[in-house]
Structures are given as structure tokens and as C-alpha cells.
Structure 1
Amino acid sequence: MLAVIRLLILALFFVMSTIAMMLFCIIRPFHRNNVYHVAKLYGSMHKLFGVELEVRKHPSIKSDEQYVYIANHQNNYDLFTISAAVQPRTVSIGKKSLKWVPFFGWIYWLSGNILIDRNNRSRAAGTISQAANKIKDNKLSIWMFPEGTRSYGKGLLPFKTGAFHTAVQADVAMVPVCMNSTCKRISLNKWNNGKVIVEMLEPIKLPNNAKENIREITNQTHALMHDKIKQLDAEVGIKE
């Protein structure tokens, strides 16, 4: 019964929020803070799922600087949890095909996110340059999921290097964003689904030779985030 009530409330939320966000994005299309406001709206819905959410931000992260944020991507509940950590003047990179998905895709596009063609490597490479230029020219930050897909309880998947190349080209630091494991921990039929911690780690400034050692840096960052996720899992009581 609880699951039914939650689903009904969620359906109503999607209808009302979609209408509101469509109007919002049509009035100010591609504004650099659209994604931030949309993310905060969705992030506020964590309470509906009986989740206590804590977002931690390293004190060295400055509001007036640009970064490439890299986060672990687990499941569809990320929309209501890790999205709460999205910072002002931040956009994401998604599949070009999203542009044609009614309502959600339109909002995603009008919000100012960057769309890429994942089936075309040359265009994807060009998008890295496009993202880097947006960071420098428009003073934007980029939010990326370096795993490239949801992990669905398989642990932190191997990272692709696109986010790291973007940071190198834009000459900005990277901020790892780690969230404890949520797969199979959130049930629509439970009142209390425990605590979820999202922690934004200290910015990582890439070395001058980063381009030549991009895979090594990628693997080192993966190991750093893997260890932090394990720490967060232990903190909320998740056993291996």
C-alpha cells in the first residue's frame, strides 16, 4: 500500500514539475543555472522515499571557480539523491538522442546540457572540445558520470577518459563526487530507507603532463573514489 501511495505522489510530482520546468526553461532557455534548479527540485524528493540525505562539500571547493565533477552512477534513484549535490553554473553531458524524448528530453536540452553522439567517435571528441570551451568561455562547470552507465550494484565500474580529457583541455580541477551504495537498499514499501551520504571530495588539479598519462590518472581517481565509497558504505552500516 505504501508503495502505491508513493508511486501516485511521484506521478503527480512528475506531471506538475514537468509543466513547471518546461515553462521555466522556455522562458530562459539554456540559462547556465537551469540545471542547478532542476537538480535541486528532483533532489528535494528524496524524502518521499524515506531517505535521509546528507551532502558534504569539501571546503576548498570555491563557488566562483569552474570544475569537472565526476560522480558514481548507480540506478534511477540517483535522480533523487546525488542530484542534490549539483552546484550552480553546472551542466551535464548526455546522449544526443535525449533531445527527442518527449518532455524529459526537451527539458534536458533546454536546460543547457551538452548533447553528444556516442555512436560517432569524431563528434564525441569534438564535444570534449565543446565542453572545454563552455567551461572557459561561459564560466560553467561540467557534471559527468565517467562509468558511462549505471552500475546497478556491480560496484564502481571502470572509468572512461572523456571527463579527464575535458578537464585537461579546459585547464580546470576535477571534483570526485561519491555516494554510498543504494542498490537494493531503497524499497518503496519501507517507511525508513536509511541514510544516503553524498561527499564532494577535494578538487584534483591535473599535472602538466596529464594528457600523456591520462589513463594512469583515470585509474588513480577510480581507486580514490572506490575507497571513499567503501568508507561511506561502512559509515551508513553497509557490510561487504
Structure 2
Amino acid sequence: MVLYYATVVIAATLAIPISFPSYFFYKGGSWSFNVFNLCASWVDVSVEVRNKEILDSVKGPAVVVVNHQSSLDIIAMGKCWPDKCTVIMKDSLKWVPGFNLSAILCNTIFVKRFSKHDGPNPALEQAVEAMRKKGLKIWIFPEGTRHHSHGFLPFKKGAFNMAICAQIPIIPVVISDYAPFYSRSNKYFRWPGYAIAQVLKPVPTEGLTYEDIPKLVENVRDQMLEEYEKISLEAARRHEIKNGEAKSE
């Protein structure tokens, strides 16, 4: 993992000059992730991306919601990151030397903290305006933080507030459990690793209001959790098969 973290830092540094053109073409983090994929090719974790054409077929702004497990999520992100997609960060982070330049070149949207209440607020409207102006998708972890246990944490409402404010679709992406090959708490990393990233059908928000958010959050989370359970079982079986083949060789 130390080598992996070093790879992340090196890739981010190398991506700075390459990302200069992407800033002006509003390409988001696409080119930066191409650099990371190349630098991290030594990490023996394969990610099978399913239905990526859904991400590519949605033109214009959208909110991509994804479950968050660990820093290894960057590998899965690199494999299924859509074109013209970026992230949202706290406004204070744009003053962090080095990091801020890389983030700015990836068209990161810096905003002040969102309101905890449903409904419009300056930070939300600022993010929506930037998305519309640049035609960007936003990648969000609705759990708010990574966790290392099976299943999901409760979803925060920020991503759903944004989608309804802009009346744009929500695209759920589910990444299978890493437990068969990686656990930070139990301190193991069993190569080769295998994970599945499943893109689900877009959830439209046209016509919905802020009053619909609780039900929308529940429906999207339930869909993602159901898919997570299914693909995690499949990924675990495939990991056992791959490990068995590697040992026999």
C-alpha cells in the first residue's frame, strides 16, 4: 500500500502538464486518470466494468453516485471514469499548493459547504451553474466517507439535492466488496485482486422537487445495495478461481 500511495502521488504530479489542454476543453479528470492507469498498471487488481456505455451515452451534466470503500477506489474510478467528469471539493482546498493546480486543471468545482437542509442554497446553485456552463458530470460518494465494513453507510443528500436542482439524471455505479483480496483493518492484500464495477440505469429527476428527495435517496440506495450484494458474491467466487489458478501455476 505504501508503493500504491507513492504511485498515486507520482501519477498526480505527472498528470499536471498533460492536463493543461483538458482544462480548456472541459475534459474533467479523464486525461489525469489515463496517466494514473498507466502508472498503476503494476498493481495486480483487475476491474471488470459493466455497462460503461451508459456513462458514455449520457450527454451533458449528470450526477454519478458511487459507493466508497478505500483508496483502492481510485483504480476502479480510473477504469470507468466517463469523459467530461469531475468532482466537487471544499473551497478551502484550492489554496493547498501543488494539489490545487492538479485539481483546477481537472475542472474541479470548488464550493463552500452545502447546507444540510433540502432546497436551494448558494453553494448548490454555484455547483449547478458550473456543471451547466461546462457540460460536466459530477462524481460523488454519497456515503460521505470511506468505510471498511460490508454494506453501505447512510447516503447524504447533497448529490440528490444537486440532481433535482439541475433536473439532471443520477447515474449509480456500484463497486463490489474488496474484502476477498484487501482489508485495511485486518492488514492483508492478496494479489491478484478482482472487482466488478456495475453501472446502473440512469435515474431521471425531471419534474421532481426537493420534497421527493427522501424517497429518491431510498430508492437509489436500495438499487445500489441490491446490486452490491449480487456482484460482491460473484467477485468473491472469481477471486477464488483466479487465486487457485495462480497457485497451480
Instruction: Indicate the residue corresponding to 1:232 in structure 2.
Output: 231
Deviations 1:20-66 (A, max 9, x none): 32223456646411411112332455542211111112555515343
Instruction: Indicate the residue corresponding to 1:82 in structure 2.
Output: 77
**Quick one: structure 1 residues 126 and 31, their matched pair in 2 at CA, closer, same or farther if it must change by over 3 Å?**
farther
Is 1:40 the counterpart of 2:43? The answer is: no
Instruction: Indicate the residue corresponding to 1:73 in structure 2.
Output: 68
**Quick one: structure 1 residues 119 and 71, their matched pair in 2 at CA, closer, same or farther if it must change by over 3 Å?**
closer
Instruction: Indicate the residue corresponding to 2:215 in structure 1.
Output: 216
Deviations 1:88-120 (A, max 9, x none): 111111223332334334311332111233387
Is 1:160 the counterpart of 2:174? The answer is: no
Counterparts of 2:215 and 2:188 in 1: how far apart (Å)?
Answer: 43
**Quick one: structure 1 residues 223 and 13, their matched pair in 2 at CA, closer, same or farther if it must change by over 3 Å?**
closer
Instruction: Indicate the residue corresponding to 2:108 in structure 1.
Output: 113
Q: Contact conserved, 1:46 with 1:53, CA < 8 A, in 2?
A: no
Query: Under a length normalisation based on structure 1, what TM-score does the superposition of the two structures give?
Result: 0.82
Q: Contact conserved, 2:90 with 2:112, CA < 8 A, in 1?
A: yes
Counterparts of 1:75 and 1:12 in 2: how far apart (Å)?
Answer: 15
Counterparts of 2:65 and 2:114 in 1: how far apart (Å)?
Answer: 22
Counterparts of 1:203 and 1:88 in 2: how far apart (Å)?
Answer: 16
Counterparts of 1:13 and 1:151 in 2: how far apart (Å)?
Answer: 20
Measured after TM superposition, the shift of residue 227 of structure 1 is 0.7
The 3-state SS of whatever aligns with 1:213 is helix
**Quick one: structure 1 residues 57 and 217, their matched pair in 2 at CA, closer, same or farther if it must change by over 3 Å?**
same
Query: Under a length normalisation based on structure 2, what TM-score does the superposition of the two structures give?
Result: 0.79
The 3-state SS of whatever aligns with 1:109 is helix
**Quick one: structure 1 residues 27 and 176, their matched pair in 2 at CA, closer, same or farther if it must change by over 3 Å?**
closer
Task: Please point out which of 147, 150, 154 is paired with 2:146.
Answer: 150
Q: Contact conserved, 1:175 with 1:201, CA < 8 A, in 2?
A: yes
Measured after TM superposition, the shift of residue 153 of structure 1 is 2.4
Counterparts of 2:53 and 2:114 in 1: how far apart (Å)?
Answer: 39
Structure 1 unaligned residues grouped into runs of 5+: none
Measured after TM superposition, the shift of residue 134 of structure 1 is 2.5
Amino acid at match of 1:229: Y
Structure 2 unaligned residues grouped into runs of 5+: 238-249
Q: How does 1:102-141 map to 2 (within 5 A)?
A: 102-118=97-113, 125-141=121-137
Identity %: 24
Counterparts of 2:225 and 2:40 in 1: how far apart (Å)?
Answer: 24
Q: Contact conserved, 1:31 with 1:111, CA < 8 A, in 2?
A: no
**Quick one: structure 1 residues 43 and 160, their matched pair in 2 at CA, closer, same or farther if it must change by over 3 Å?**
farther
